[in-house]
Structure 1
Amino acid sequence: MQSYMTSIAARVCQRRVQSSPLFSSGISLSFWILHTLKFPESHYDQKVRFKECCKCSADQCSPSETPDRLSRYLRVLIYKSHNAFNRRFPLPVGALQSIARSYAEQKELSGQLDSKRHTQSLLGDRIRTIKDPSEKQAVLGEAKALKAEIMSLEEKVAAVEEKLLGLALHLPNDTHPEAPIGPDDAAIIMSTHGPPVMSPSPERDHVTIGRALGLFEFEAAAIVTGSSWYYLLKEAALLENALTNYAISIALKHGFQFVMTPDVVREDVALRCGFQPRDYNSDHPASQTYRIADSSPELVLSGTAEIPLAGMFANKMFPENSLPTKVVGLGRSFRAEAGSRGADTRGLYRVHQFSKVELFVVCEEDSSAQYLEEIRKIQVEIFEGLNFPFRVLDMPTEELGASAYRKYDMEAWMPGRGAWGEISSASNCTDYQARRLHIRYRRRFAPSGQTQAPIPFAHTLNGTAAAIPRLIIALLENGVRLDEKGKPSGLDLPATLRPFWLGTSDIIRWV
């Protein structure tokens, strides 16, 4: 099965390389189809641990115990359907059935094509040995007709592969067996950190603080650009700079390499990373990304540095023993945030542009669970140094998006808002992005029982080291000093930021 799909992938790759200025999209998506066929049993039963989930259940059986292919394939479709439902992922109508039909059609056509090519090869050998001119002419005519049949079949195979691979892009990643099922309120609190939680207090609202201390300018930004845009002034602007360098310094300490990313990416790359360009959950679908008008290929403003960081490794083959690769990127994130309304749009909480420090890891397939925990520990270290209350959540299925197999969120207590607010997330995307971006690595040794080491797809992980506006909210609302009238008079900021601060300030006290 794998060699069969590999040959499909190679043909699609060859065809696409000639026509695409980006990279071969066919390989990764064809292998994604193989991945779909390999992942049913353990995930369907939701009873096994991560490492077991990374293996094909059929690979763990003796030949006599291998499940019937049709039965296993039906279980795949059932799991994929349940998985998409649990994640509330907007699959196109009939997507799974279309994949099943297209896959069967592709196998049948490819079998016919291989048979015709074999016959063509035999005819070629025969032509070279024929001495009789009339017989040779007859066989040449037969070969010419066969060539036309092969060309027709090649066109049909290409068309069905194009359809099949396009459908594959719509499916989300598989889900960790321990992920809670349901909406955001089904999240499990894993740990809490920092000082005691303050009581909700309108006086600590970050917009009120910012206006009193002259830190924000929303009205001018509304005139210049529109709603949900902003200027950071004075200490707020310096705070962004300090937070950025503080987060990067901790990432560097843990072996990450610093990268400055482009803020404009191909829309195709964003799709391959699992970012949907439109809000299909809305009754009136609207763009989730800002597009560059009249660009070809289509370009968009990046929603997170994760996208250009993942794209940086597209089509890369990592040598033996070269993984993990760990990078920390700084970029501007642009969010159209279609459909967002209400209190969450107030002030800096949900804005269209912000600075973001992102952790990104490429690793071997059997170590991604380990690196998810490493990213989580780095995030905890960063936020503990900022001395505000926060908690770590194991996120439920409806919050996983397209790419995450498992995701942790971190929320800070924001007393001015009177609520917990997300400040970070860490996601294990397994090979979801790597298959679409064609990121692979070589193994030194072949697995037991195999004569040749396979070339697997890598696993990718990402985590937010610093989403600047949310951190500013948490620091201001937890660190504001109020006078006897309850008015903001200054800020208590964590001393960990002092080495990264430029200049001095009369309103800041380092604690």
Structure 2
Amino acid sequence: MIDLKVLREDPEIARASQRARGEDPAAIDALLAVDERRRSAISRADNLRAEQKLFGKQVGRARGEEREALLAKGKEISAEVKAAEAEQGEAARAFDAAHRALPNLVDPAAPVGGEDDYTVLEHVGTPREFDFEPLDHLDLGLKLGALDMERGAKVSGSRFYFLTGVGAQLQLALLNMAAAQATAAGFTLMVPPVLVRPEIMAGTGFLGAHEDEIYRLKEDDLFLVGTSEVALAGYHADEIIDLTGGPRRYAGWSTCFRREAGSYGKDTRGIIRVHQFDKIEMFSYCRPEDADAEHQRLLTWEKEMLAKIEVPYRVIDTATGDLGTSAARKFDCEAWVPTQQAYRELTSTSNCTTFQARRLSVRYRDDNGKPQTAATLNGTLATTRWIVAILENHQNADGSVTVPAALRPFLGLDVLQPR
């Protein structure tokens, strides 16, 4: 949630953020109005309760007819208190709904615009020139015995698949390499739950505008996560954590599930856009003043992983209209996919400032021992989609694929051979 202090002191910051996202700035004024209603209701209820308490003392001292009259008056005050408390509760619920409906404030440094208005920050590596017609990742995967889309669809429906043989080995090797890098960098490796409670999913900002992307088990009132960010954000919900030694970092290894609602017809070939995949996600808790520096660290770790798979890529600063609800700023690393002649996202790292932690009540103690809201950040370290970039960029004319040197110790193979 947005910091109310900022909202009250300078609402134009929040209105500008809404405009940058392509959202209605009137939502800020609606929230301010319901905030005033809530505070007025609290004040009225408090005053009436105080009056009721004093009146009770008068009744205790009264006798006879005076007492009877005061008791009658007391019933009127009691009814007023009950009505005021009901109004207070209703105003509080309206305020909470309006507050939670607002996305995070965007970072002023983020480029303004829609999906195509990103800024390219850097290019790393040069796309390879092939002296043969390159195959796409699906044709390569079939030749290698690494992918089976047909049986995936038979078993589970469209956009499901089997990773088979070296395909399964390649994914495990990739994720193990990511896990090794994360633990070497001081991250605590986690295998979190992939089913979470509604309050945890809502706390991370994934419900609301993005709810149609999420699989829900209605009978159990649980949600399947689309990223381990959700469970890791909820790990310290309602806690005061120790950040005296610097950021607290976790790396979550999990299977992720996404309905891909609204993407019908897009990337239906292969495993670029699927309903289930595996991922290692970095997640950091830190002091708000350290969040920008931590964001750059997460990006650096992502770039280190991309260097290990030896693919050309670019880094983009995502435009405000393409940020998720929780993100104030987001950097994507997009790898070159030869058969598409395009860059496609492999990693994403977001600075969510205090937005998620405020909703989940994750705090730390400042230098004076006073509880303050923490900041949260996340970043992708490896996913199933990386297999696309590895296969296509490292293929050979005979259909084999040369394994990147850094990945070989984890895979135990130098070359993937066609079956």
Residue deviations 1:274-302, cap 9 Å, x none?
214566xxxxxx9211111422xx21211
Q: Distance in 2 between matches of 1:33 and 1:402?
A: 17
SS of residue matched to 2:85: helix
- Match for residue 38 of structure 2? 106
- Match for residue 384 of structure 1? 307
Letter in 2 for 1:457: T
The offset of 1:135, in angstroms, is: 4.5
SS of residue matched to 2:340: coil
- Match for residue 345 of structure 1? 268
Over 3 Å counting, the alpha-carbon distance change for 1:333 and 1:207 in structure 2 is: same
- Match for residue 128 of structure 2? 198
- Match for residue 94 of structure 2? 163
Q: Is the 1:199–1:415 contact (alpha carbons within 8 Å) kept by the matching residues of 2?
A: no
Letter in 1 for 2:383: A
Q: Is the 1:277–1:289 contact (alpha carbons within 8 Å) kept by the matching residues of 2?
A: no
SS of residue matched to 2:296: helix
The correspondence of residues 222-237 of structure 1 with structure 2, limited to 5 A, is 222-237=153-168
Q: Distance in 1 between matches of 2:84 and 2:266?
A: 58
Mark the runs of 5 or more structure 1 residues left unpaired by the alignment: 1-28, 41-75, 280-285, 446-452
The offset of 1:213, in angstroms, is: 1.9
Q: Distance in 1 between matches of 2:160 and 2:70?
A: 73
- Match for residue 336 of structure 1? 259
The offset of 1:444, in angstroms, is: 3.0
Q: Is residue 146 of structure 1 aligned with residue 77 of structure 2? A: yes
- Match for residue 386 of structure 2? 471
The offset of 1:320, in angstroms, is: 6.6
Letter in 1 for 2:36: A
Q: Distance in 1 between matches of 2:57 and 2:370?
A: 33
SS of residue matched to 1:357: strand
- Match for residue 22 of structure 2? 88
Over 3 Å counting, the alpha-carbon distance change for 1:270 and 1:121 in structure 2 is: same
Q: Distance in 2 between matches of 1:320 and 1:421?
A: 36
Q: Distance in 2 between matches of 1:467 and 1:126?
A: 71
Q: Choose 115-124 or 131-140, whichever is displaced more.
A: 131-140
Q: Distance in 1 between matches of 2:415 and 2:377?
A: 41
Letter in 2 for 1:428: N
Q: Is residue 439 of structure 1 aligned with residue 354 of structure 2? A: no
Q: Distance in 2 between matches of 1:205 and 1:189?
A: 25
Letter in 2 for 1:86: A
The correspondence of residues 6-405 of structure 1 with structure 2, limited to 5 A, is 32-38=3-9, 40=10, 76=11, 78-89=12-23, 95-126=27-58, 130=61, 132=63, 135-136=66-67, 138-194=69-125, 196-199=126-129, 203-276=134-207, 287-295=212-220, 298-319=221-242, 321=244, 323-405=246-328
Q: Distance in 1 between matches of 2:305 and 2:346?
A: 11
SS of residue matched to 1:249: helix
Q: Distance in 2 between matches of 1:424 and 1:506?
A: 25
Letter in 2 for 1:37: R
Letter in 2 for 1:111: S
The offset of 1:193, in angstroms, is: 2.2
Q: Is residue 507 of structure 1 aligned with residue 413 of structure 2? A: no
SS of residue matched to 1:191: strand
Q: Is the 1:202–1:417 contact (alpha carbons within 8 Å) kept by the matching residues of 2?
A: no
Q: Distance in 1 between matches of 2:208 and 2:161?
A: 24
- Match for residue 377 of structure 2? 461
Q: Distance in 2 between matches of 1:277 and 1:261?
A: 23
SS of residue matched to 2:305: helix
The offset of 1:493, in angstroms, is: 1.1
Q: Is the 2:106–2:328 contact (alpha carbons within 8 Å) kept by the matching residues of 1?
A: yes
Q: Is the 2:15–2:26 contact (alpha carbons within 8 Å) kept by the matching residues of 1?
A: no
Residue deviations 1:307-341, cap 9 Å, x none?
11101111111247265211000111111111114
SS of residue matched to 2:110: coil
- Match for residue 47 of structure 1? none
The offset of 1:203, in angstroms, is: 2.2
TM-score by length of 1: 0.76
The offset of 1:241, in angstroms, is: 0.3
Q: Distance in 2 between matches of 1:320 and 1:387?
A: 35
Residue deviations 1:163-205, cap 9 Å, x none?
11111121111111111011233222222224x2124886231
Q: Distance in 2 between matches of 1:148 and 1:34?
A: 34
Q: Distance in 1 between matches of 2:413 and 2:324?
A: 42
Q: Distance in 1 between matches of 2:378 and 2:111?
A: 20
Letter in 2 for 1:364: R
The offset of 1:345, in angstroms, is: 2.8
Q: Distance in 2 between matches of 1:271 and 1:363?
A: 21
What is the percent sequence identity of the aligned residues? 32
Letter in 1 for 2:394: G
Residue deviations 1:412-451, cap 9 Å, x none?
1111221100000111100110111111112232xxxxxx
Mark the runs of 5 or more structure 2 residues left unpaired by the alignment: none
SS of residue matched to 1:186: coil
Letter in 1 for 2:18: A
Q: Is the 1:264–1:302 contact (alpha carbons within 8 Å) kept by the matching residues of 2?
A: yes
- Match for residue 496 of structure 1? 406
Q: Is the 1:278–1:288 contact (alpha carbons within 8 Å) kept by the matching residues of 2?
A: no
The correspondence of residues 417-436 of structure 1 with structure 2, limited to 5 A, is 417-436=340-359
Q: Distance in 2 between matches of 1:357 and 1:103?
A: 40
Over 3 Å counting, the alpha-carbon distance change for 1:126 and 1:32 in structure 2 is: farther
